[in-house]
Amino acid sequence: MPDSKPPISFLPSDVDDMKDEEILELQPKAPRVLADYGVQRLTPGTVAKASQDMDEDMSDASEANALNLVFSKTTIPVPRVRRVIKREWDYLIVSDYIKGPLLADVWATYSIWKKVCVAFTLRRYVRQLTQLKASPTTPPGPIGADGPRTCISPIFGQIQHYRGPFSSYAELSIFFNKRAKMGYNADKLPEDHPSRKQRFDDSEALVFSHQDINPRNIIAGEDGRLWMIDWGWAGYYPPWFEYVAMQRQLQNEEIGGYYHKYWDLLIPFVCGPYFAQEKWLALMSMGLYYS
C-alpha cells in the first residue's frame, strides 16, 4: 500500500471560497455519510462533524488538532482539515471526503494475505504515532492550546469512559495506582498479594495514540490507501494504551454485533504485545467502577 502523503490532501477544496456563515447554513441540511455516524456530506468534496471535546469554552477542537498533527508529522493518510468553525457549544470540523468503503464492510472479502498486508500497514501507522512523543511538560490526553483536557478512552472502562483532566503524567499514574488500591480492596485481595506491589506502567514517555482503531474507523480508499478516521479520542498516552484500547474496542465491536475474523490476532502485532499491562488493568478494573 502507498507510503506517501495522498495527492488529494494538497489539492484545493470546494469550501475554500465559502464563508463560515455559508458552511453553517449548509450543514443542517447536509445528508449523513452513514446512518449510524454523525458525519455529514457537506459538499461533494468535504464532510462535516461536531467536535467531541467534553470541556467547555475550549479555544480549539482537539480532533482537528490531532488530524493536523498527524498530517504534518507522519505519512498516515488522514482527511485534511479544511475548516474549523466555532459554534455555541462546540466546533464544526470540515475535512476532505474520502472515497471508499469502511474496512469493516470489506474485511470479510479479504484474503488471508490481504489481511496480513493490512496488519503490516497498521503496524507502520502505529509506529509512526509512537514517534510523536510528548515533551516532559505536556499533559496526558487530547492536545489543545488551553492545557489539560478531559481524557476519553476505553482504558477507563465501561462505567465512565472519561477521566481527568490530568495536569501531568505523574498525576495520571497516581490516579491509576489509587484506583488499583480501591479495586483490590473491593475484591478483598489479601494485603500480601503480589498484585498489590504492581504499579501503573509509566516507564515510557507519552506518545500520540488514536485510542479507537477498529475496522469501522478505517476507510479502504479507492486510491489503495488505508485512511484512519475518527480521531476524537486521540491524545498523548503511554504506548501500551493503544494496545489495550484496540482490544477493548474489539470487544465493544462484538457486543455491538460486529465480528471481524482474525482482527484479534493482528492487535499484538500492530501495537506491540503489552500483555502484562493489559492483565494489570484487568485486575484493578473494579477500582474504575467508582466515579
Q: How many residues does the chain have?
A: 291
**Quick one: pLDDT band at residue 63, thresholds 50, 70, 90?**
very high
Dihedral over Cα of 165, 170, 176, 181: its sign? negative
Instruction: Report whether 79 contacts 67 (CB < 8 A).
Output: yes
Task: For residue 238, list its beta bridge partners.
Answer: none
In this structure, what C-alpha cell is assigned to residue 46? Answer: 468535504
Spell out the domain ranges in the chain. Answer: 8-96
Check whether 108 has a pLDDT greater than 70.
Answer: yes
Task: For residue 207, list its beta bridge partners.
Answer: 133, 237
Give the span between the Cα atoms of 53 and 89, in whole angstroms. Answer: 10
Q: Locate cell 471560497: which residue?
A: 17
Instruction: Report whether 79 contacts 69 (CB < 8 A).
Output: no
- pLDDT tens sequence across 148-180: 999 999 999 988 999 999 999 999 999 999 999
Check whether 2 has a pLDDT greater than 80.
Answer: no
Give the span between the Cα atoms of 115 and 184, in whole angstroms. Answer: 40
The CATH class for the domain spanning 8-96 reads alpha beta
